[in-house]
Structure 1
């Protein structure tokens, strides 16, 4: 999906907690569900693995999700490859693999780029844009942690907390 075909979810400029999860690969741990409770919106950055995961997350809060490279089953065909949203006045660009970022987020007015794929939690600024990888919440890969992230937005200021689900 191109940026011109994107979906937009718009919320007024307010306080909001956004749960961020990726790389469940068909396994939604109860610890992830507990960590995301209280979120006002949940973003899934791909490699979902099972549509039931989205249904469980939707029972917590509205969900915006994109397709990951392993989401090739027919149920995932309707998911976009990338998504641009505005939540609580913050512009968010969601894709699965940050290496496939084909736009200049700063020039596009993006505040936060969220990607999964690597299974490695990440929080860094690049050219004034926050880049976030929540890590993987599904099956462990190598010795990487099992994590999700919470983005707390207040008056367009973003704070991020990674939560280790097995700690």
Structure 2
């Protein structure tokens, strides 16, 4: 199995063309919340199927349709998605989760804890806190995992 998974978060109602271009080869896209406008999900769905969670700014229509968490099974890889990592209420390792995707902080990062890969693609919408705007790609092949980030 080879999968290219686009990672985006914290768009806050803004979807930049450079983000769309970078995610264009994705087999699926994970949005880590704080979408801000349902049109963003519609645009991303033109590229690939989209999994998305509700962020703290997602109100109105988005609040009603987005779950707080998502569990995605890709062959032997399990991905858990939550907007704010500080609100995680499960033990990913004990639950057999391989990857946790989050957003909220607007800081792109990847690290391992207890054998679980934690990835935050950063913020892709509006510039905040002097942080760069970023998106990411998660590559999964033969149960190997790699992540890269792209500055917008």
TM-score, scaled relative to structure 1: 0.89
Compute the displacement of 1:76 (Å): 3.2
Matched, 1:154 2:141: yes
Match of 1:123?
110
**Structure 1 residues without counterparts, runs of 5 or longer:** 1-13
Distance 1:126 1:36 in 2: 27
Tell me which residue corresponds to 1:89.
76
Q: Which residue number corresponds to residue 10 of structure 1?
A: none
| 2:40 is equivalent to residue 43 of structure 1 | no
Root-mean-square deviation (CA, aligned residues, Å) is 0.8
Alignment partner, residue 55 of structure 1: 42
* TM-score scaled by length of structure 2: 0.98
The number of residue pairs the alignment matches comes to 152
Deviation at 1:88?
A: 4.4
Where structure 2 has 5 or more consecutive residues not aligned to the other structure, the ranges are: none
TM alignment of 1:1-167, pairs within 5 A: 14-165=1-152
Give me the whole-angstrom Cα distance separating, in 1, the residues matched to 2:88 and 2:122.
18
- Write the distance in 2 (CA, Å) between the matches of 1:35 and 1:25: 18
Q: Is the CA contact (8 Å cut-off) linking 1:93 and 1:110 kept in structure 2?
A: yes
Distance 1:21 1:132 in 2: 11
Distance 1:87 1:59 in 2: 21
Give every structure 1 segment of 4 or more consecutive aligned residues whose post-TM-superposition deviation is greater than 3 Å: none
